[in-house]
Amino acid sequence: MSITLKDVDHVANLARLELSDAEKTQFTDQLNAILKYAEKLNELDTENVEPTSHVFELVNVMREDVQKESLPIEKVLLNAPDEEDDQIKVPAVLE
């Protein structure tokens, strides 16, 4: 599998990244090199191998459904770039 500039555009859009033309070209080359290297993994037969998503057996980690303290609003807003009426402000979500 080989990545084209079109693929890079698509992925950049998914990742919410804006790339310059120079970056797009550079990334196309670099990603192709890395993915070519990754094709090595196809040398291995993994038909009957379970995937590892977590190294040690952990079953659902739960706690009692008991209400605990929430964050005070000043802390929530401490790093907010823009706020109004105790809410974080952003451009319109729906247009």
Partner 1 sequence: MSPFELSIQEVGAKLKNKELSVTELVDASYHRIAETDESIKAFITLNEDAARKQASLLDEKLINGQAEGALFGLPAGIKDNIVTEGLLTTCASQFLSNYNPIYDATVTRKLRDAGAVTIGKLNMDEFAMGGSNENSSYFPTRNPWNTDYVPGGSSGGSAAAVAAGQVYFSLGSDTGGSIRQPAAYCGIVGLKPTYGLVSRFGLVAFASSLDQIGPLTKNVEDAAHVLQAIAGHDPKESTSANVAIPNYADALTGDVKGLRIAVPKEYLGEGIDPRVKEAVMNALKTYESLGATWEEVSLPHTEYAIATYYLLASSEASSNLARFDGVRYGVRAENPENLIDLYRKSRSQGFGSEVKRRIMLGTYALSSGYYDAYYLKAQKVRTLIKQDFDQVFEKYDLVIGPTAPTPAFRIGEQVGDPLTMYLNDICTIPVSLAGVPAISVPCGQVDGMPIGMQIIGKAFDESTVLRAAHAFEANTEFHKQRPQL
Binding site for partner 1 (CB under 8 A): 1, 3, 7-8, 10-12, 14-19, 23, 27, 30-31, 33-35, 37-38, 40-44, 46, 49-56, 58, 61, 63, 71, 75-76, 78-82, 88, 90-93, 95
User: How far is Cα of residue 65 from the mean position of the Cα atoms in its chain?
Assistant: 29
CB of 41 to partner 1, least distance (A): 5
Longest dimension (CA), the chain: 58
By three-state DSSP, how is residue 24 classified? Answer: helix
CB of 67 to partner 1, least distance (A): 16
Long-range contacts at 13-16 (CB < 8 A, ≥ 24 apart): none
